[in-house]
Amino acid sequence: EKAVNLKKDLAEMQEWMTQAEEEYLEKDFEYKSPEELENAVEEMKRAKEDVLQKEVRVKILKDSIKLLATKVPSSGHDLATELNVVLENYQLLCNRIRGKCHTLEEVWSCWIELLQYLDLETAWLNNLEERVLMTENLPDKLDVVNDALESLESVLRHPADNRTQIRELGQTLIDGGILDDIISEKLEAFNAHYEELSHLAVSRQIALEQQLQTMRETDHMLQVLQENLVDLDRQLTSYLTDRVDAFQMPQEAQ
């Protein structure tokens, strides 16, 4: 009777493992929304806990069959053979479910990381847009234009590492068919915004550099002219002081 019950327990255990494999490992999952992906992660975590909890039952079966084998060798030998199959299948099921759980957790982590990088770069783009707007309608003053240019250039020096991460994370998920529609839409919108704004910012940077160069050249010309006028004034004053007749002066002084 003991052997019959153990044989029945082994059969039930094998049946449960077959059902678990069909439910958790053989279904085709499509993750088209973050909610579906998150639900799949939580379900696989529960599956992993459920499978690992069966380890106690497997150990009890193993100990019971060993004990029976010492008392009734013939029955114990047959059950031990079935037990080995169950143990092998159980270990395989544990490994596969742990692997799938880990994979889904990594995918979810990848999605969250992508959102974080998108938030960071969107904040940077908003800052860049603000700096570009600040360069419009500037007063025609050298220091004001120079400060605006330096402020814009400081934002444009933003490293490209985050955008590289966004591209790689997004492509990884899309290649796996995970949230591909949502991610493609997000990346397309982000890239379009980035390209438009970065081109505008660079154009404004070039315009400010040219404006600054023109202002510096004009300032330099005015300075030279001012110095020449001072020299001429000094020279004319000396002529007047010395009562020099105008026709005795050099042509340029006349």
Q: Could you tell me the two tokens for 191?
A: 């890239």
Residues 6+ apart with CB under 8 A from 101: 41, 44, 45, 47, 48
Domain of 63, CATH number, reads 1.20.58.60
* pLDDT at 79 (0 to 100): 81
| Within a domain: 217 | no
C-alpha to C-alpha distances, 238 to 233, 246, 254, nearest whole angstrom? 9, 12, 14
| Within a domain: 249 | no
Query: Per-residue pLDDT averaged across 164-182, rounded?
Result: 92
Cα 122 vs. chain centroid, distance in angstroms? Answer: 11
- In terms of residue numbers, what domain contains 13? 1-211
| Within a domain: 223 | no
Query: Per-residue pLDDT averaged across 49-57, rounded?
Result: 89
Q: What residue spans of 135-158 are helical by DSSP H?
A: 142-156
DSSP annotation string for 102-116: HHHHHHHHHHHHHHH
Quote the number of domains for the chain.
Answer: 1
How do residues 83-124 score in pLDDT, each as one tens digit?
888 889 999 999 999 999 999 999 999 999 999 999 999 999
